[in-house]
A and B are shown apart, each in its own frame.
Chain A
Amino acid sequence: MISISNASKWYGDFQVLNDCTTHVSKGEVVVVCGPSGSGKSTLIKCVNGLESIDKGKIMVDGDVVNDKKTNLNILRSKIGMVFQSFELFPHMSALDNVILGQIKVLKRSEDEARARAHDLMAQVGLSEHAGKYPAQLSGGQQQRVAIARGLAMDPIALLFDEPTSALDPEMINDVLDVMVNLAQDGMTMMVVTHEMGFAQKVAHRVVFMDEGCIVEDAPTDQFFQAQGSERAQQFLSKILTH
Chain B
Amino acid sequence: MNYNWDWGILFREPYLGWLADGLFWTVSLSLCAWIIAFSLGSVLGIMRTSSSRILRFIGTTYVELFRNIPLLVQLFLWYFVFPELLPDDAGRWVKREMPMPALSTAIVAIGLYTASRVCEQVRSGIDAVGTGQRNAAKAIGMTERQVYQHVLLPNAFRIIIPPLTSEFLTIFKNSSLALTIGVVELTAMTRQIEEYTFQGFEAFTAATVIYSVVTFSVMFLMRIVERRVQVPGMISAR
- The interface of chain A, by Cβ under 8 A from chain B, is 45, 48, 50, 72-81, 83, 85, 87-91, 100-101, 104-105, 132-136, 146, 149-150, 153
Chain B residue nearest to A45 (CB atoms) is: B135
B150 at the interface (CB under 8 A from A): yes
In the complex formed, the residue of A with least CB distance to B143 is A73
Residues on A with C-beta less than 8 A from B158 are 91
- Bound Cα distance A57, B189 (Å): 71
Chain B interface residue bracket vs A: 20 to 34
B86 on the interface (CB 8 Å rule)?
no
Is A104 a contact partner of B142 (Cβ separation < 8 A)?
yes
Question: Which applies to chain B's interface (DSSP): helix, strand, loop or mixed?
Answer: helix
Q: A85-B132, A91-B154 are in contact. Are A48 and B137 (CB under 8 A)?
A: no
| Given contacts A83-B135, A90-B155, A104-B146, A133 and B141 within 8 Å (CB-CB) | no
Interface 9-mer from B5-13, B102-110, B226-234: B226-234
Interface residues of B (CB under 8 A from A): 132-133, 135-143, 146, 150-151, 154-155, 158, 231-234
Task: Contact check, B141 vs A91: say whether CB atoms are below 8 A apart.
Answer: no
Residues of A within 8 A of B133 (CB): 87, 89
In the complex, A90 Cα to B232 Cα: how many Å?
9
Is there contact, CB below 8 Å, between B231 and A101? no
Pick from B132, B139, B155: contact of A80, CB under 8 Å: B139
Min CB distance, A139 to chain B, in Å? 13
Chain A residue, CB-CB nearest to B157: A91
- Whether A136 and B232, one on each chain, are in contact in the complex, defined by CB atoms closer than 8 angstroms, is yes
Given contacts A91-B158, A136-B232, contact A83 B143 (CB under 8 A): no
The answer to whether A101 touches B141, judged by C-beta atoms less than 8 angstroms apart, is yes
Partner of A133, one of B132, B140, B232: B232
B155 to chain A, nearest CB (A): 6
- Interchain Cβ contacts under 8 Å between A and B, 26 examples: A45-B135, A50-B135, A50-B138, A73-B141, A78-B141, A81-B139, A83-B136, A83-B139, A85-B132, A87-B135, A89-B136, A89-B137, A90-B155, A91-B231, A100-B150, A101-B140, A104-B142, A105-B141, A105-B142, A132-B232, A135-B232, A135-B233, A136-B232, A136-B233, A149-B140, A150-B139
| A80-B139, A105-B140, A132-B233 known, 4 other contacts, Cβ within 8 Å | A73-B138, A105-B142, A132-B232, A134-B233
CA distance A83 to B135 in the complex (A): 9
The answer for the CA separation of A72 and B151 in the assembled complex, in Å, is 18
Cα distance A13–B139 in the bound complex, in angstroms: 28
A11 to chain B, nearest CB (A): 15
